[in-house]
Amino acid sequence: MSDFRRSQNEAHPNKTNTLMTAIIVLLILFVGIQIWFLFGALNNALQGNIYFAVTTFIGSFLLALASLWLLRYLPDPLKKSSGKKK
């Protein structure tokens, strides 16, 4: 029997791909910004600029939260296809 989810997937077969790509691109962007923050914080903290280190830590922490929150929207594996094979 067809349900809403199955109809959705059949009507938009590329949806999972698009979602997955968008999530991965966003995650790479977040991680890239965090690496930049970490590099800056290392250099500035060594120079005695503690405020830069604190600011980048807050930014990095928020980005990490956003990254983990994004993982909630990872599309589920397509179970029906494996079920069909059987």
Partner 1 sequence: MAKKSSHDHPEKMPTWKSDFPIKEEQVTHVGRREFAKFLGLLSGTLALGNGVIVIKALAFPAKPLEGEHFVCNADEVAVGEMFQFEIAGSKVIPYILIHLEENVWRAFEQKCTHLTCAVRYRKDLGKIECPCHHGFFSADTGEVLQGPPPRPLPRLEVVIRDGKVYVREEKQDQTV
**What is the contact surface with partner 1 in residues (CB under 8 A)?**
20, 23-24, 27-28, 30-31, 34-35, 37-38, 41-43, 45-50, 53-54, 56-57, 60-61, 63-64, 67-68, 70-71, 74, 77
Alpha-carbon gap, residue 2 to 80, rounded angstroms:
11
What is the rounded distance in angstroms from the CA atom of residue 23 to the CA atom of residue 8?
20
> What's the rounded Cα separation, in Å, for the pair 15 and 22?
11
Q: Which is nearer to partner 1, 9 or 23 (CB)?
A: 23
Nearest approach in angstroms of CB 71 to partner 1 is: 5
Cβ proximity to partner 1: between 1 and 46 the closer is: 46
* Residue pair 73/23 in contact by the 8 Å Cβ criterion: yes
